[in-house]
Structure 1
C-alpha cells in the first residue's frame, strides 16, 4: 500500500519528490547576509543562483554598509632561525567587545610567507590592507584572501627602492587608490608622488601627481577617513604637520599642528586616529599623553588636552617595554598595547584609555601567538592593530 504522503515522479519512480518547495529569493538573501564571509566564499559554488546573489553589487554593499566592528591584528616576525625558514605575516580578526569584558578572542584569517620581510600593514581601508614587499606595493583582503600585486613602478629618472605608501578609498566613486611618496630623497625631489587606481576591470598604470609646497618626511602610517588619507610628517620649517591626501581629487595639502617642545621628543609614540568621527593626534611621551582633535582643517585649528598617565596599569609589564597606539575602539577609548609580542607576556594585553574620564581598563587578547612553541619559533613579533576593519566581499 502506498503511503498517502509519498510523492512520485512523473515516470512512476519513487526515488524522490517530483519537485522541491523553493525558498523565496528574499529569504535566501536574508540567510546569506547573516553568514560569515568565509562561508559565503564556499556557498557561491552551490548554484548559479547563489553565485549571482553573492557576487551582486547590491549584496556586497549590504555587507559592507552594516559591518560588525572588527579588530584586524597583524603579527610580523623579523628574525629567521633554523625552525623558521621564512618571514611571515599573520593576520587575525576579532570582534570588538560589546560590553566591558576582560578578554577578546582572535581567529587567524590569513598567513603570508616569503624569504623577504614584509612591511608593517597599513590600517584597514574598507576591509583592505596594503603592504610593501620586495619593492612592490601589495594590497590584500583578509576576508576573501585575495592578494593583488600592483604594477612595478616604472617612471623615467626616478628610483623607488624606498617609498612611503598609503591606500585610500573614495566612497563617492567607490574607488580604491594607492599613493606612493619617495623617502630618503633630496628636497628638490620631494614632489615625487605617484598614484594608481585599483579595480574597475582595467589595467592601470602609475601616474605622477603634484605634491604639497613643503618638503616633508612621513612619521606615521596613513589613516583613511571619509575619502581623505592623513599621516603625520616632519617639515624643516614647520616641525610636525599633518599631510592630507584627497583620494577623489588626488590633491595633497598640509595641516599645521603646533606641538609643545616635549611632544616633539624623538622617543615619543605617536599616531593619527579616528576619534568619534574626527581626526585626532595622540602622542605619548614618557608618562604623559598629548591629545589633539582637529576642529577646522582650513584654519588649522585643533583642540588640545594634556593627560598624565600612570604606568601602574601595565601590572606585570615592565616600564621599558615599548608601546604603540592603534586608534580607538567603538566607544572612543584609545587603544594602547606593547609594540612586540614577547616570550613572557602570556595573553597579549590591550589597554583602553578614556580621554574624557582619564581612566584605563585592561583586556586580554587571546588566540594571538598564545602557543609557546609559536613564540619560540618566530621570536619577538611586531604587533599592529587596525581598529576599523570590516569584512568586505569585494574583489579588486
Structure 2
C-alpha cells in the first residue's frame, strides 16, 4: 500500500501544511482591542466566541480606559426646513508636515424642527445628548445607538420646555440625564428631574430637590469627574455657576468671579482635570480655574493676545472656544463653517507658554460640494471624546 506523504515536526507530531494552529484566547482578545470600534461592530457577528468577547464588560472597559485622544466635531446645518447634524471624529495628534487634522464622518442625524439639536454636543465618556424636535435624546456615535428618553412628566403633570444635561458617575459607572424646568416668573417653584440610564430600562423620571436659589441656565453643561457644571443667571441678573453631583444627585451654587461673559467668546472647559472658565474679549484672554468649589475660590491668569496671530481667521468672523486638547492647549475656531472661508482653521493656544499653533481641518470641512449644499454650518468641537462600545 502506498504511504501518504506526511510532514513531521521535530517532536514527531503530524502538522502538515493543511493544519492550522488555533490562536490563543488571550491573543484574540489582544488583537480585537487594537481594532477600531467600526470594525468591532462588524466582527461581533463572526462567531459566538467573538461576540461574547466584544460584548463582555471587561473588554468594553479596556477600550474606554485606554482611549485614543479624539475630537468629536459636530456640524449643524442652518436650513429653515430640515436640519442635519453631522458627527465627525478626528485624532487630536497634529500632523507636523501638513499641520492638519482629518475628520471622518461617523453619523448623520436629521430633524424637521427649527428648535432641534443642542448648540454644543459635548462628549460625556463617549455619549452625547441632543434635543431633536424638543425631545431628550442620548446618542453614542461609536455604536450608532440612539436612545429617546420619555417626555418629562411627574405625578401626572406634564412639563413644558426644559433645559437638558447629561452626566456620568465614574464610581458607579452610571449615566444620568438632568432636566431643569424653565420658570415664567421669579418666585416659581424650581423643578429638577433626573433619570438613570442603563440599569433601569424603564427610564423613569424622578423629581429631586432644587438648587438653593432660583436660576436660569445660560450655557450647555460640561461633565468633569462626576460633576456637571453650567452657567446661570438669577432673576436679579446675578451670574453664577450651578454644580450637579451626578452620584449624590445634589445641586449646589458656585459664585463666579467674572463680571460678564459673551456666549460665543467664553466657555467652561476641562483644563487638566479642573473646571476652568475662559473669556476672550478683544485682544485679551481671561483664564480662571476653580480651586475650591465649597469656598468659591478661583485662580486667574490674564493674557494679551493679538489677532494677528490668528491671521487665518478674519477679524469679522465670530469665534468659539471649544475646550482643551490632550496637552492642555485651548482650542479656538471660527463659529461657522462658511462657504467662502477657504480652509477651516483650528487655533491652539498654550496658556503656559503663550504660544499659538494653527492647523487646518480636512475631510468634509474642506469639501466644496458639502459647503455649497449644507453651509453655513455651526461648528463645535468636543475634545474629550472617546470610542465607547457600551450600550445603555
Correspondence for 1:369: 365
1:391 equivalent to 2:381? Answer no
Correspondence for 1:105: 102
SS at match of 1:189: coil
Shift of 1:20: 4.4
SS at match of 2:41: helix
Shift of 1:207: 1.1
- Cα separation, 2, equivalents of 1:347 and 1:225: 32
Runs of 5+ in structure 2 lacking a partner? 9-15
- Cα separation, 1, equivalents of 2:288 and 2:214: 23
Correspondence for 1:211: 210
The 5 Å alignment of 1:13-24 reads 20-24=20-24
Correspondence for 2:284: 288
The CA RMSD over aligned residues, in Å, is 2.1
Show CA shifts across 1:14-69 (max 9, x none). Answer: 9x95x742111000000000000000000000000000000000000000000001
SS at match of 1:71: strand
Correspondence for 1:152: 151
Q: 1:161 to 1:349 in 2, by over 3 A?
A: farther
Does the 8 Å CA contact 2:74/2:381 hold for their aligned counterparts?
yes
Task: Number of aligned residue pairs: give it.
Answer: 380
SS at match of 1:134: helix
The 5 Å alignment of 1:1-396 reads 2-5=4-7, 20-80=20-80, 86-97=82-93, 102-116=99-113, 117-155=116-154, 160-183=159-182, 185-200=184-199, 202-236=201-235, 239-260=238-259, 264=260, 266=262, 269-396=265-392
- Cα separation, 2, equivalents of 1:184 and 1:238: 14
Shift of 1:182: 2.1
Does the 8 Å CA contact 1:190/1:216 hold for their aligned counterparts?
no
- Cα separation, 2, equivalents of 1:103 and 1:139: 30
SS at match of 2:240: strand
Show CA shifts across 1:239-294 (max 9, x none). Answer: 2211100000110001111224xxx1557621111111111000112221111001
Question: Which stretch shows the higher mean deviation, 200-209 or 66-75?
Answer: 200-209
- Cα separation, 2, equivalents of 1:165 and 1:249: 18
Q: 1:344 to 1:311 in 2, by over 3 A?
A: same
Show CA shifts across 1:316-371 (max 9, x none). Answer: 43212111110000110100111100012222110111112222111111113322
- Cα separation, 2, equivalents of 1:96 and 1:150: 32
Does the 8 Å CA contact 2:264/2:319 hold for their aligned counterparts?
no
Q: 1:289 to 1:86 in 2, by over 3 A?
A: same
- Cα separation, 2, equivalents of 1:121 and 1:266: 15
Shift of 1:236: 4.2
Does the 8 Å CA contact 1:275/1:332 hold for their aligned counterparts?
yes
Shift of 1:99: 6.9
- Cα separation, 2, equivalents of 1:104 and 1:171: 30
- Cα separation, 2, equivalents of 1:38 and 1:53: 16
Question: Which stretch shows the higher mean deviation, 189-198 or 167-176?
Answer: 189-198
SS at match of 1:108: strand
Does the 8 Å CA contact 1:216/1:235 hold for their aligned counterparts?
yes
- What is the TM-score with the length of structure 2 in the denominator? 0.91
Does the 8 Å CA contact 2:164/2:180 hold for their aligned counterparts?
yes
- Cα separation, 2, equivalents of 1:324 and 1:46: 44
Q: 1:266 to 1:119 in 2, by over 3 A?
A: closer
Q: 1:157 to 1:312 in 2, by over 3 A?
A: farther
- What is the TM-score with the length of structure 1 in the denominator? 0.91
SS at match of 1:90: strand
Does the 8 Å CA contact 2:227/2:244 hold for their aligned counterparts?
yes
Question: Which stretch shows the higher mean deviation, 314-323 or 278-287?
Answer: 314-323
Question: Which stretch shows the higher mean deviation, 281-290 or 324-333?
Answer: 281-290
